[in-house]
Amino acid sequence: MAEVMTEKITLEDSLPLPGPTTTVLGPHVDIDGDVYIDGDVMLIGRISGSLRCKRFVLDREGELEGMLVADSAAIWGNVSADMYVPIIELHAGCSVEGAAYHEQFILDREALFEGKSRRYQNPQAMAPAT
């Protein structure tokens, strides 16, 4: 069962802390293919393929199509993908289509989610190999 957020969280609250393991993929980035980053990712651009990372933040302008495998995800933009992430947060204004395999699924009342949600222990282990 999805949790409904009652407090307002801003995009800035979700941003990864700057550091050597944070990768920002800006608005000029358009990737077709599979991406593996051993660290946190903030996506403002577009990825069509699979993304594997630690903490994932999708900006309002960002787009992800394909598959996401991460430790946590805060979604503000557009997703058309299957997500294998223990903690998924869908925030106001986002649009998500696909399957969400998770331990915890947090849905803002102004977020759009069209798909299926399934709770699993260790959902990342269910992700297909790329």
What is the DSSP secondary-structure string of 79-123? EEEEEE-SEEEE-TT-EEEEEEEESEEEE-TT-EEEEEEEE-SSG
Two tokens, residue 80: 């058309």
Provide the pLDDT for residue 22: 86
Domains: count for the chain = 1
Task: Please indicate, yes or no, if residue 95 is contained in any of the structural domains.
Answer: yes
Provide the pLDDT for residue 123: 96
Task: Please indicate, yes or no, if residue 13 is contained in any of the structural domains.
Answer: no
Provide the pLDDT for residue 51: 98
- Exposed, middle or buried: residue 18 (CB in 10 Å: 0-12, 13-18, 19+)? exposed
Question: Containing domain of residue 94, as a range?
Answer: 3-7+19-122
Task: Please indicate, yes or no, if residue 41 is contained in any of the structural domains.
Answer: yes
pLDDT digits (tens, 9 = 90+) for 40-87: 999 999 999 999 999 999 999 999 999 999 999 999 999 999 999 999
Task: Please indicate, yes or no, if residue 28 is contained in any of the structural domains.
Answer: yes
Task: Please indicate, yes or no, if residue 84 is contained in any of the structural domains.
Answer: yes
Indicate if the pLDDT at residue 116 is higher than 90: yes
The pTM for the full model equals 0.86
pLDDT digits (tens, 9 = 90+) for 101-113: 999 999 999 999 9
